[in-house]
């Protein structure tokens, strides 16, 4: 085991000097995991996530991760994560598409177990018809699992948001899992400049004494504790215990907001908020929206942009306020459902000015030019 110089998350995320490198998203993620001082990693192959799983294996061999193995399928990998995280160690895993859905039972259980697992998901199409190309449709299925969800725009985000995820997840008053979601190949295999922190500085190790639920390690004996209050009526556990437990998980999500502000500078990135037309997007769609905004400005159309970094807890108040002035709000997405537009419409007063689109999926690219065309069409309509 390498002797590690450990630093606080505040230092690593907000203060440490950065060095420019050129790498793909999966490599950037591996760089984050290397610095995150992770204890246990369990993996299973699925495109386009497999590379990070291989890279974690290399990190393990090199001594940056303490234990690593390949599980037999995503359902059981995620169950192993529950076991490992319950013992009170720092964990990491990743999955994609059909793997996410195969793991839905544990995914719905993780937050209730109060496990600060950080799990990147590399989004792709889900059957039917099957597709390994980028898609953010999975986020829709994960929305109400109680987990915190970040949406990654670029390899740089993948590096930063993973470290931020550990910093936020492990806070004692949060202590629920974080999904760091990227839109598949657009991030995992795109090579870009990524600014990384020094590679000989590592996060302080996880301290299970700060967990709101005692770690499952038989270190404080005797103990009689049910980590999961199964209401089956005849074991005398009241509905109330179960209900308040669920509410506590949701409350933990809300309490994460102050740490999202501290470590991430808030859940949104806002450019030109007073514009007539606002593009609201998350993930790779935000990248396309940025460029569309520039093109539109050059053509004399007043366009602003809101990048939504955090999908859960959804920044309800901020989005509602931002939508007040604009005449037109467009929500481009890399999925068929238009889930982000639904989220935004639900919190905006006059939501007839919120348009879901363009929706691009099945792996197609969303050229910024297409976004600009849509803006022009809609402006003609609303004028």
Partner 1 sequence: MDAVKIAPGFEKIMPQEYQDLVNDGPYGRNLSVKDLGTFKELIDEHPLCAGCTLTLSLRIVLASLPNPENTLIVTCAGCFGVIHPQISLHCTIAPFGTHNAFASGLKRALKVKFPNKNKDVISMAGDGGFADIGLSPTFHSWVRGERLTSIMIDNECYANTGGQDSGMTPEGVVLNMSPLGKNFPKIEFAELAKLAGCAYVATATPTNPRLLGQMVRRAILVSREVGPTVIRIATVCQTNYKLSPIEGYNKAKSFESQTFEYFTKEAQKYIESIEKKSPKTELNLEVGVENED
Partner 2 sequence: MKINIRISGLGGQGLVTAANILGRAAIYDGNYSSVAPFFGAEKRLAPTESYVRISSKKLYEKGEVTYPHIIVIFHPEVITRGKCFTMPFYAGFQPNGWLIINSESLLISEEDIENLTKLNARVVYVPATKIAREIAGTELATNMSLLGGLVGATELVTIDGLEKAIAQRYGGEKFVASATTAVLDDVLRKKYGEVQELVGKNMASVKKAYEFVKQNLEG
Q: Residues interacting with partner 1, by CB under 8 A?
A: 39-40, 42, 66-67, 69, 71-73, 75-77, 79-89, 91, 105-106, 109, 208, 216-218, 221-230, 232, 234-237
Smallest distance from partner 1 to CB 336, Å: 29
Q: Which residues contact 276 (CB under 8 A, 6 or more apart)?
A: 301, 302, 303, 326, 327, 328
CB of 31 to partner 1, least distance (A): 22
29: nearest Cα among 61, 4, 52, 3: 52
Would you state the structure tokens that stand for residue 30, as one six-digit string?
């591996």
CB-based contact 196:24 (threshold 8 Å): no
Scan residues 16-45 and list those touching partner 2 (CB under 8 A): none
Nearer to partner 2, 232 or 317 (CB): 232
Interacting partner of 237 out of partner 1, partner 2, none (Cβ under 5 to 8 A depending on kind) = partner 1
- Identify the three-state secondary structure at position 44: coil
C-beta of 243 vs 251, nearer to partner 2:
243
220 makes contact with partner 2 (CB under 8 A): no
Strand 303-308, strand 268-271: pairing: antiparallel
- Nearest residue (CB) to partner 2, 234 versus 350: 234
Shortest distance, position 240 Cβ to partner 2, whole Å: 12
What is the rounded CA–CA span in Å between residue 20 and residue 259? Answer: 26
Nearer Cβ to partner 1, position 230 or 381?
230
Contacting residues for 144 by C-beta, under 8 A, at least 6 apart = none
Taking the least distance from each CB to partner 1, the nearer of 213 and 301 is 213
Supply φ then ψ for residue 330, to 5 degrees: -115, 140
Q: Closer CB to partner 1, residue 37 or residue 188?
A: 37
**Which residues, 324 to 383, sit near partner 2 by CB under 8 A?**
none
Out of partner 2, partner 1, none, which partner does residue 218 contact, by CB within 5 to 8 A per kind? partner 1
Could you say which residues in the range 222-261 bind partner 2, by CB under 8 A? 232-234
- 227 touches, from partner 1, partner 2, none (C-beta below 5 to 8 Å by class): partner 1
CA dihedral 136, 35, 258, 274 (to 10 degrees): -50
Q: Which does 257 bind (CB under 5 to 8 A by kind): partner 2, partner 1, none?
A: none
Neighbours of 11 (CB within 10 A): 14
- Nearest 5°: the CA angle 373, 377, 379 is 115
Residue 221 contact among partner 2, partner 1, none, beta carbon within 5 to 8 Å by kind: partner 1
Length, in residues, of the chain: 383
Q: Indicate the residue among 237 and 320 with the shorter CB distance to partner 1.
A: 237
Residue 67 binds which of partner 1, partner 2, none (CB < 5-8 A, kind-dependent): partner 1
Task: Give DSSP secondary structure letters for 88-138.
Answer: T--EE--B-HHHHHHTHHHHHHHTTTT---EEEEE-B--SSS---SB--HH
* Chosen from partner 2, partner 1, none, partner binding at 266 (C-beta under 5 to 8 Å by type): none
Residue 31 in contact with residue 161, Cβ under 8 Å? no
Contact positions vs partner 2 (CB under 8 A): 232-234
């Amino acid at each position: 085991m390498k002797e590690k110089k450990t630093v606080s998350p505040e230092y690593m995320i907000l203060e440490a000097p950065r060095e420019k490198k050129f790498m793909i998203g999966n490599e950037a993620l591996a760089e984050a995991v290397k610095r995150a001082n992770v204890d246990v990693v369990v993996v299973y192959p699925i495109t386009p996530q497999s590379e990070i799983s291989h890279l974690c294996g290399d990190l393990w061999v090199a001594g940056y991760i303490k234990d690593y193995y390949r599980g037999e399928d995503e359902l059981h990998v995620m169950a192993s994560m529950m076991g490992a995280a319950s013992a009170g160690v720092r964990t990491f895993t990743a999955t994609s598409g059909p793997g996410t859905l195969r793991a839905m039972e544990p995914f719905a259980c993780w937050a209730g177990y109060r496990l600060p697992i950080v799990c990147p998901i590399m989004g792709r199409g889900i059957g039917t018809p099957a597709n390994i190309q980028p898609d953010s449709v999975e986020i829709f299925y994960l929305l109400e699992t109680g987990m915190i969800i970040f949406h990654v725009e670029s390899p740089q985000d993948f590096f930063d948001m993973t470290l931020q995820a550990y910093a936020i997840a492990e806070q004692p008053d949060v202590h629920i899992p974080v999904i760091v979601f990227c839109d598949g190949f657009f991030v995992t295999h795109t090579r870009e400049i990524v600014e990384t922190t020094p590679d000989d500085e590592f996060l302080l190790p996880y301290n299970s004494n700060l967990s709101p639920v005692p770690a499952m390690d038989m270190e404080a004996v005797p103990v009689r504790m049910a980590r999961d209050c199964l209401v089956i009526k005849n074991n005398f556990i009241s509905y109330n215990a179960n209900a308040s437990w669920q509410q506590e998980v949701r409350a933990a999500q809300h309490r994460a907001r102050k740490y999202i502000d501290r470590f991430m500078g808030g859940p949104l990135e806002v450019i030109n908020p007073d514009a007539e037309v606002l593009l609201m997007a998350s993930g790779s769609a935000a990248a396309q929206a940025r460029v569309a905004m520039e093109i539109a400005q050059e053509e004399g159309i007043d366009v602003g942009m809101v990048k939504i970094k955090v999908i859960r807890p959804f920044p309800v108040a901020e989005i509602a306020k931002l939508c007040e002035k604009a005449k037109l709000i467009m929500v481009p997405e890399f999925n068929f459902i238009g889930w982000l537009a639904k989220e935004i419409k639900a919190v905006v007063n006059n939501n007839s000015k919120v348009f879901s689109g363009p929706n691009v999926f099945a792996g197609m690219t969303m050229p910024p030019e297409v976004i600009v065309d849509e803006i022009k069409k809609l402006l003609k309509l609303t004028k």
